[in-house]
Structure 1
């Protein structure tokens, strides 16, 4: 069993799982942002949520595998302590620590999502918003520590993922936190601004009332109340 693990192509496994994990986490973040846009019918939102959940959980699982394989790697082996305790690795401690923090934070996001019905919305949202710093840490960890970043295609991948998440975030903020387009606040009414009185179905169109004719309308109302009934 030990010889089988030692003979595994660990270096290739580490590289592939790291890149695929990053792609899936990017997809999960982008779809999570897209889910909040008021553009989708209910069925489409269900599909988006399922893909978002699958990408997030799969990306986290591959990320954990990516880290665990470093323990049996023969090229740059990590100890369990270096893997589990952030910033204690002998090789690139800061970048390695960011990878460890990403793993812990993603597990926390997934756990709090499963416990969402037991948590207050503000608490759940605070944990869920960790996805943004997690994405940033994953991008820094992968780009600067990954040996494949020397290839133009991988560099383009990181650039495209960052642009995608930034654009989706800007689009989401344009629609506001409640899912509707932000509108400017209505300007306060001036003294000469006419006000429309609501009318009930079957009644004539409402009369425009302004400060200038409000008193005259009130006098007509009093005259009508005290006028003798028509025979």
Structure 2
């Protein structure tokens, strides 16, 4: 079996789809971990890992999409990749993938080029779109990906979902605790 038989477009589509999901999952995880007070000493490292994995994910998803354009078995048109729910093959799940891509692209674009122009409050609101984008990636990959029936791939998705949810819940609990610390307590004076 030659190398070109092993790495045909169908294999590359799956490979780069999984790689993009892995990198985006790492980016989301490192981004949240960077907000933890207990990891303050590692904040710069976590931020760099967050950015690097986001860009690696974007490069992998672009190759994933390119392979879809040139695949001979189930080729996509460019419009099917860029406009949600227009794909001839599984339009709903393909559309979810397109929306996830567009949301992620908007987050990366505004983070790297427009954060000062937009201002921090608006930038934060746009940056939160990474969570529905990531969830869209989960749905797209788990239900449209042909490898999801493979137990290793299935458990890869399940374990990554578990990790992101645990980090997210921990971050939410930390944020709630931080808000409680900064909320002045009211003294109750009772009259006798």
Does TM-score exceed 0.5, indicating one fold? yes
Displacement of 1:185 in angstroms is: 5.9
Q: Root-mean-square deviation (CA), in Å?
A: 2.2
- The answer to which structure has the higher helix fraction is 2
Provide the C-alpha distance between the structure 1 equivalents of 2:69 and 2:37, rounded to a whole number of angstroms. 45
Alignment of 1:21-170 (within 5 A): 21-42=20-41, 44-114=42-112, 115-170=114-169
Q: Is the contact between residue 34 and residue 40 of structure 2 (CA under 8 Å) also seen in structure 1? A: no
Q: Which residue number in structure 2 is paired with residue 188 of structure 1? A: 187
Counterparts of 1:136 and 1:16 in 2: how far apart (Å)?
19
Q: Distance in 2 between matches of 1:120 and 1:77?
A: 41
C-alpha deviation, 1:105, in angstroms:
1.3
Residue matched to 2:4? none
The whole-number CA distance in structure 2 between the counterparts of 1:55 and 1:124 is 20
Which digits, 9 at most, give the CA deviation of each residue in 1:20-42, with x for residues without a partner? 11011011001111111111234
Aligned partners of 1:17 and 1:62 also within 8 Å: yes
Larger radius of gyration: 1
Provide the C-alpha distance between the structure 1 equivalents of 2:168 and 2:40, rounded to a whole number of angstroms: 20
Gaps of 5+ in 1: 1-7, 193-211, 213-231
Please, which moves more after superposition, 183-192 or 168-177?
A: 183-192
* 1:174/1:181 contact within 8 Å kept: no
Match of 2:3 in 1: none
2-side partners of 1:153 and 1:185: how far apart? Answer: 50
Aligned partner of 1:174 in structure 2 is 173
TM-score, normalisation: structure 1: 0.75
- Number of aligned residue pairs: 186
Q: Indicate the residue corresponding to 1:220 in structure 2.
A: none
**TM-score scaled by structure 2?**
0.89
8 Å CA contact 1:175, 1:182 repeated in 2: no
1:119 CA drift (Å): 1.4
Q: Secondary structure at the match of 2:94?
A: helix
CA contact (8 A) 1:64 1:103 kept: no
Unaligned runs of 5+ in 2: 1-6
Per-residue deviation at 1:117? 1.5
